[in-house]
Structure 1
Amino acid sequence: MKKLTTAAMIAALGVSANVMAADWFVGGSVGAGFNDQSVSGTNIKKADGPVRYGVQVGAYLNDNMRVYGSYNTGKDDAKSGGVKTEMTQEQFLLSADYLFGTGDLKPFAGLTIGHDNTEFKVSGANGFKKDQGKVAMGGQVGAVYAMGNFDLEAGYRHLWHDTKIKANGSTLKNSSDGNLYASVSYRF
C-alpha cells in the first residue's frame, strides 16, 4: 500500500505543472452497474444492475491526454428465500485517459485507481448492516464527441476491489464491478 501511495503522489506531482495550463472540465454521468456479488458462495449477480450516478472534474493536458477525479454511487438489491440484501457503493477515483485521433470524435482508453466503499444491509431475523472500504483499480474504454465547449461521452469502466464482509455466519463478497455509462462535460 505504501508503494502504491508513493507512486500516486509522484505521478500527481509530475502532471501538476501541465494541469495548471490545461483545459478544465466538469461533468456528470449516469449508467448501469454490473456487480459480481455473492452471499456465502452463492452468486447474486443480476442482469438488471443498479443505476449509477457520478460527477467528475478534470483537465485536458493536451489534445490526447486527460486526467480527472470522479465520485460515483449506486445501489443494488437482491431477494432470496425471504431475505433481502441491499448493496450500496461509493467510489472516489482518479483516472487518466489517452484519446486517439485528431477529430471531434475520439476513442479513448485509460486507467483508474481509487477507493471503493461497499455497504451491505441484510434484512430478516439475522439482519445486519456493515461496510468496508478497499483500494479499487481498473480501466475504462469509450469515445468522446466534442461539440464546442461540451463533450458527450459513452464508455465502460471495470474495477477490481475484492470487498469481503463476514457477519452472522454469512460471507458477502463484491469482488469487482462494471459501469456502462454516458456523460456530459463542460470545458472552461
Structure 2
Amino acid sequence: MKTKQLILAGVITSMMSVPAMASDWFIGGAAGYQKNTYKLDSSVDGTKEKEKDMAYQLRVGTYINDNSRVYGTYGYNSEDIGKQQNFLLSYDYLVPLGASNKMNWFVGATAGMTHTSIKDADLSSGNNFVWGGQTGFMYNINDNWSTEIGYQYLKQDYEKDVGNGANTGTFSLNDTQQVYLAIDYKF
C-alpha cells in the first residue's frame, strides 16, 4: 500500500505545481460505456462477472504546453451490482497527427480514488486506490472547443470478505474499462 500512496502523492504534487506553468485551462464532460470485472473466490467456487453500463464524467484541467495536459475527473457509474464514484488525476501526452495540429493522438496515466458501493447488504462500500491509463484521439474543432474519443483502463483495489463458516470467500472488483466521447471548452 505504501507504493500506491507514494504514486498518488507524486501525482497530486505534480498537479499542484502545474497552474504556474499553464497556458490554457479547460472544462468538459464525457459519456461512455463502462465494464467492471467482479470476481468471487470462495470455498465453493470461483466466478467472474462483468457488468456493463453507462458512465459519466466531469473534468477540469490545463494544457502545460502543446504536447502535455493534466486534469482532474469526477466520474459516476451505476449498474446492477453496484455504483462507483471516481476522483482521478490524469496526465496525457499529445502527439499531433498532421501539420495543422487539429487531430492529436493521446496516451497517458491516471491515479486516484474510487468510492465503490455494492448493492448487496452483506458488502460494505469503501474508498479504494485506482490506477491505470488511457489513450484516444482528440480533435480541435476551433480555438475554444475540442472533442475526443478514448479508452481508459483502471486497475481496482476493492476487496471484501464474504460468507461465514465453511462457505467463505472474497468478493473483489478487479478492473474497469471504459470507452467514452468527451467535449471540452478551453478558456
TM-score by length of 2: 0.84
Q: Could you say what secondary structure the match of 1:50 adopts?
A: strand
Q: Could you say what secondary structure the match of 1:130 adopts?
A: coil
Q: What RMSD in Å do the two structures reach over aligned CA positions? A: 1.7
Q: 2:88 and 2:9 mapped to 1: Cα distance?
A: 16
Listed as ranges, the gaps of 5+ residues in structure 1 are 78-85
Amino acid in structure 1 at the alignment position of 2:34: G
Pairwise CA distance, 1:65: 0.8
Superimposed CA distance per residue, residues 106-140 of structure 1 (whole angstroms, 9 cap, x where no aligned partner):
01000001001111112xxxx43511211111000
Pairwise CA distance, 1:176: 0.9
Amino acid in structure 1 at the alignment position of 2:119: K
1:51 and 2:54 are equivalent in the alignment: yes
Q: 1:37 and 1:129 mapped to 2: Cα distance?
A: 13
Give the counterpart of 1:106 among 104, 107, 119: 104
Cα distance 1:26–1:9, how it changes in 2: closer, same or farther (>3 A)? closer
Alignment of 1:147-166 (within 5 A): 147-148=141-142, 149-166=144-161
Amino acid in structure 1 at the alignment position of 2:66: D
Give the counterpart of 2:63 among 43, 52, 60: 60
Aligned partners of 1:59 and 1:67 also within 8 Å: yes
Aligned partners of 2:123 and 2:160 also within 8 Å: no
Q: 1:117 and 1:13 mapped to 2: Cα distance?
A: 23
Listed as ranges, the gaps of 5+ residues in structure 2 are none
Alignment of 1:18-33 (within 5 A): 18-19=21-22, 22-33=23-34
Aligned partners of 1:95 and 1:110 also within 8 Å: yes
Cα distance 1:35–1:63, how it changes in 2: closer, same or farther (>3 A)? same
Give the counterpart of 1:12 among 8, 15, 22: 15
Tell me the percent identity.
31
Q: 2:183 and 2:15 mapped to 1: Cα distance?
A: 25
Aligned partners of 1:60 and 1:66 also within 8 Å: yes
Pairwise CA distance, 1:172: 2.0
Runs of 4+ in 1 over 4 A off after TM superposition: none
Superimposed CA distance per residue, residues 128-171 of structure 1 (whole angstroms, 9 cap, x where no aligned partner):
35112111110000010001111111000001122112244453
Aligned partners of 1:131 and 1:165 also within 8 Å: no
Aligned partners of 2:87 and 2:114 also within 8 Å: yes
Cα distance 1:8–1:50, how it changes in 2: closer, same or farther (>3 A)? same
Pairwise CA distance, 1:50: 1.1
Pairwise CA distance, 1:3: 2.7
2:185 corresponds in structure 1 to: 186
Pairwise CA distance, 1:6: 4.0
Pairwise CA distance, 1:173: 1.0
TM-score by length of 1: 0.84
Alignment: residue pair count? 172
Give the counterpart of 1:118 among 116, 121, 131: 116
